[in-house]
């Protein structure tokens, strides 16, 4: 008998709580979704410009535009804080697909080793290929080897020669960090990503958003010369879509020593 009475009291209390919840007034800051409030416990809230909030029940909260904006902001803040601790940066770009047997892998490794000897900080995208080669050269020479890596489905991953790293979810925030404060940019042969990064840096210099004293170094005549000839003949001479002096932004060389001579003539940039 006592057990039945206890069960009856529990049911009564539960019913009272439900009836009480339905009679509670809607808080002034929660919006107008009363039925949802009473039926579910909301752990996340979305607020509009009038400071009125509504419960958010989607499974993947990070896909909401408001959350994504804050994530983007945090990547910029954390990225610039990370870069502010580095000095005398030289950023390397190039294909993630080149193996250690490729001649440009070896050249990137040798140039990064020279940079490390001269106390430069070597920065890459943190992945394999040319990025690994540059990090490896700096690492083996005992220098600063930094990777600004991003998660990609195929070839991108952090290589084992990175000493300091910062990960990014968004490609465009990572691109800003790679071009933010280096005193020289070195481009080895690469694909669409490398070309994208190359022309972004060139455009920043062309439009005066970045100092023209910062060299853009292209390593490998056999890869870059056809592109340079196309820029000269088609863009500069035939269609006049760039200025005659713009081609001088690009510096072509064929050896780590020649690239190092250009780097040594630069001055440190500060964020």
Q: Per-residue pLDDT for 247 more than 50?
A: yes
Span 93-122, average pLDDT: 98
- pLDDT, greater one: 120 or 58: 120
pLDDT of residue 61: 54
Task: Please tell me the predicted confidence (pLDDT) of residue 157.
Answer: 72
Tokens of 212: 């023209």
pTM of the model: 0.76
Instruction: Give, in order, the Cα–Cα distances in Å from 95 to each of 23, 41, 158, 188.
Output: 64, 50, 14, 7
Measured CA to CA, the distance from residue 74 to residue 78 in angstroms comes to: 6
| pLDDT tier at 37, thresholds 50, 70, 90 | very low
Question: Which pLDDT does position 22 carry in this prediction?
Answer: 44
- Domain total of the chain: 1
Whether residue 97 has pLDDT greater than 80: yes
Asked whether the predicted pLDDT for residue 227 surpasses 50, the reply is yes
- Does some domain include residue 107? yes
Give yes or no for residue 35 having a pLDDT over 50: no
Return the pLDDT at 45: 63
Residue 243 lies in a domain: yes
Share of the chain above pLDDT 90, in %: 66
Residue 247: inside a domain: yes
Mean pLDDT of all residues belonging to the chain: 84
> Which of 22-36, 83-97, 124-138 shows the lowest mean pLDDT across its residues?
22-36
Identify the residue whose tokens are 């809607």: 26
Rounded-to-integer distance, Cα 266 and Cα 251, Å: 13
- Quote the CA–CA distance of 40 and 79 in Å, as a whole number: 38
Q: Does 43 reside within a domain?
A: no
Whole-angstrom distance between the N-terminal and C-terminal Cα of the chain?
A: 78
pLDDT of residue 201: 97
More confident residue, 234 or 1: 234
Which pLDDT tens digit goes with each residue over 153-193?
Answer: 544 578 999 999 998 988 899 999 998 889 999 999 999 99
Given pLDDT bands bounded at 50, 70 and 90, which one contains residue 150?
A: confident
| Residue 140 pLDDT exceeds 60 | yes
Indicate whether 7 pLDDT > 50: no
Domain housing 86: 74-264
Residue 112 to residue 147: CA distance in whole angstroms: 13
Are the C-beta atoms of 131 and 104 separated by less than 8 Å?
no
The answer to whether position 270 is within a domain reads no
Helices (H), the chain: 2-23, 34-39, 65-83, 103-117, 130-140, 171-178, 192-206, 221-230, 256-264
Q: Is residue 112 part of a domain?
A: yes
The answer as to whether 204 is a domain residue is yes
The pLDDT value given to residue 31: 46
Q: What CATH number has the domain bearing residue 175? A: 3.40.50.450
Checking if the pLDDT of 29 tops 70, the result is no
Is it the case that residue 258 has pLDDT exceeding 70? Answer: yes
**Better pLDDT: 46 or 252:** 252
Q: Residue 31: inside a domain, yes or no? A: no
Higher pLDDT, 34 or 68: 68
């Amino acid at each position: 008998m006592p057990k039945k009475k206890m069960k009856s009291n529990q049911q009564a209390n539960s019913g009272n709580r439900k009836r009480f919840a339905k009679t509670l007034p809607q808080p002034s800051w929660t919006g107008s979704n009363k039925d949802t409030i009473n039926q579910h416990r909301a752990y996340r809230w979305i607020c509009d410009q009038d400071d009125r909030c509504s419960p958010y029940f989607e499974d993947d909260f990070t896909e909401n535009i408001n959350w994504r904006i804050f994530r983007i902001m945090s990547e910029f803040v954390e990225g610039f804080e990370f870069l502010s601790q580095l000095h005398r940066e030289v950023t390397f770009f190039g294909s993630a697909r080149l193996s250690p047997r490729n001649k440009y892998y070896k050249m990137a490794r040798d140039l990064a080793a020279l940079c490390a000897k001269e106390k430069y900080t070597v920065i890459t995208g943190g992945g394999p290929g040319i990025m690994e080669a540059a990090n490896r050269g700096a690492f083996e020479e005992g220098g600063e080897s930094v990777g600004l890596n991003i998660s990609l489905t195929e070839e991108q991953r952090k290589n084992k020669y990175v000493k300091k790293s910062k990960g990014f979810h968004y490609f465009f925030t990572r691109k800003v960090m790679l071009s933010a404060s280096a005193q020289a940019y070195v481009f080895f042969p690469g694909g669409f990503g490398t070309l994208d990064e190359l022309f972004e840096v060139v455009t920043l210099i062309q439009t005066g958003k970045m100092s023209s004293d910062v060299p853009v170094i292209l390593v490998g005549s056999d890869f870059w010369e056809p592109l340079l000839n196309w820029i000269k003949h088609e863009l500069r001479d035939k269609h006049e879509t760039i200025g005659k002096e713009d081609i001088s932004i690009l510096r072509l060389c064929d050896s780590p020593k020649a690239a190092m001579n250009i780097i040594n003539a630069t001055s440190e940039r500060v964020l």
